[in-house]
């Protein structure tokens, strides 16, 4: 169940809940809503047990918390967070407990793993319909609603283009929230220019358009964007090569056997990179990534010189070298 379906439909909450996906800010909200629905404030401290992944490394304390009787409440709630960081053996032991939650208790597992992907199988997939699953992944519709709600909470307004840009970005929603809070302090309507100038959620958006153009083999487009950035910012080399290094790293991941998996703010870049990955191949993507990183290091360490014109020449050279990457 998508996060906002959970919010709107208020489904029944049984013995097992799995909060999954990739957006931590939605996971935190889901947990708040769960606790508000399950335990009134006046009895919460008496009937809530929280464990981190490290705390739950030994199953006995979690089992004891689940077995305890509710006190002046309908049920006890046990929450285990960050379970995606647990090693295989503790995850297996925790899953055994999850399959046998006693009556009068609810176990909430915050397992911020995608339903599909490399690594351990998510608890949500293992549970299937036996659990209430709350998916915190965010598509454009979810992002747009999150932005609108954040603006409403801040009593702020924004141009429609700001909402669209954030809805179709790949930024973590926590970064989106923080940036909107910062921009709202000005007390005026937030414009796209404000967003591009100040936000961390859209770091150098033109730099990422440059990176997409490079990996797609659109050399003239890429160089035009790079030159435009250099005209406005003589230090643009770092932003351009950082964005290109991220794109090449993600391309390398997607070119791995099995297709690879992107997480967090990198997920959105898959719309451009995934179709290219089979053509590029794992080896060429790795070489491209290493080449860009060497160029970035040359600028940061000063080996490329201190003249921005030298940085621009280096960016042009790397752009041309990678121009046939997807061909």
User: According to the model, what pLDDT value does residue 115 have?
Assistant: 53
- Contacts (Cβ under 8 Å, ≥6 apart) of 267: 22, 137, 170
Same domain, 172 and 232: no
Specify the length of the chain in residues: 327
Q: How many CB atoms lie within 10 A of CB 119?
A: 10
Q: How many CB atoms lie within 10 A of CB 153?
A: 12
Same domain, 193 and 69: no
Largest CA distance in the chain: 72
User: According to the model, what pLDDT value does residue 176 have?
Assistant: 86
Write out pLDDT tens, residues 283-292. 889 899 889 9
Domain-terminating residue out of 135, 160, 181: 135
Structure token pair of residue 5: 């379906």
Among 13-22, 53-62, 108-117, 306-315, the least confident range: 108-117
Domain-terminating residue out of 135, 161, 190: 135
CA distance 69 to 307: 70
The structural domain count of the chain equals: 3
Same domain, 245 and 307: yes
Same domain, 123 and 218: no
Residue 19 belongs to a domain with what CATH number?
3.40.50.300
- Note whether residue 105 is domain-resident: yes
Same domain, 117 and 48: yes
- Note whether residue 90 is domain-resident: yes
For the CA atoms of 192, 165, 1, 25, the dihedral, rounded to the nearest 10 degrees, stands at -50
Q: How confident is the model at residue 264 (pLDDT cuts 50, 70, 90)?
A: low
What range defines the domain where residue 166 resides?
140-198
- Note whether residue 326 is domain-resident: no
Residue 266 belongs to a domain with what CATH number?
1.20.272.10
CA distance 39 to 234: 56
Distance of CA 199 to the CA centre of its chain: 17
Same domain, 173 and 234: no
Same domain, 85 and 64: yes
- Note whether residue 308 is domain-resident: yes
Write out pLDDT tens, residues 130-157. 999 999 999 889 999 999 999 999 999 9
Same domain, 217 and 270: yes
Q: Residue holding tokens 């160029």? A: 295
**CA-based torsion, 258, 136, 67, 49: positive or negative:** positive
| 128 CB-side CA count, 13 A | 0
Same domain, 109 and 124: yes
Same domain, 115 and 173: no
Q: Is the pLDDT of residue 164 over 60?
A: yes
Q: How confident is the model at residue 91 (pLDDT cuts 50, 70, 90)?
A: very high
Q: Is the pLDDT of residue 3 over 80?
A: yes
Q: Is the pLDDT of residue 267 over 70?
A: no
Same domain, 57 and 88: yes
- Note whether residue 327 is domain-resident: no
């Amino acid at each position: 169940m998508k996060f906002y379906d959970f919010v709107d439909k208020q489904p029944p909450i049984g013995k097992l809940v799995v909060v999954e996906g990739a957006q931590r800010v939605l996971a935190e909200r889901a947990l708040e809503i769960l606790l508000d629905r399950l335990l009134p404030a006046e009895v919460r401290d008496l009937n809530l047990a929280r464990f981190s992944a490290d705390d739950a490394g030994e199953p006995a304390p979690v089992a004891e918390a689940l077995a305890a009787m509710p006190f002046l409440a309908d049920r006890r709630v046990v929450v285990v967070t960050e379970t995606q960081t647990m090693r295989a053996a503790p995850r297996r032991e925790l899953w055994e407990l999850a399959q046998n939650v006693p009556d009068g208790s609810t176990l909430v597992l915050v397992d911020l793993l995608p339903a599909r992907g490399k690594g351990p199988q998510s608890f949500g997939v293992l549970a299937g319909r036996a659990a209430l699953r709350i998916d915190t992944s965010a598509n454009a519709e979810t992002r747009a609603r999150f932005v609108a709600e954040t603006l409403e909470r801040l009593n702020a307004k924004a141009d429609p283009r700001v909402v669209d840009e954030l809805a179709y970005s790949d930024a973590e929603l926590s970064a989106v929230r923080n940036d909107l809070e910062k921009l709202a302090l000005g007390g005026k309507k937030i414009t796209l220019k404000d967003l591009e100038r100040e936000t961390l959620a859209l770091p150098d958006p033109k730099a990422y358009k440059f990176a997409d153009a490079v990996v797609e083999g659109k050399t003239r487009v890429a160089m035009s964007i790079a030159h435009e950035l250099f005209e406005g910012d003589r230090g643009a080399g770092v932003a351009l090569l950082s964005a290109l290094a991220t794109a090449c790293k993600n391309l390398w991941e997607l070119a791995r056997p099995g297709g690879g998996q992107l997480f967090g703010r990198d997920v959105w870049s898959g719309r451009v990179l995934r179709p290219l990955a089979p053509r590029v191949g794992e080896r060429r993507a790795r070489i491209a990534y290493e080449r860009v990183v060497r160029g970035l290091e040359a600028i940061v360490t000063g080996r490329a010189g201190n003249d921005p014109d030298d940085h621009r020449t280096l960016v042009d050279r790397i752009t041309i070298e990678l121009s046939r990457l997807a061909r």
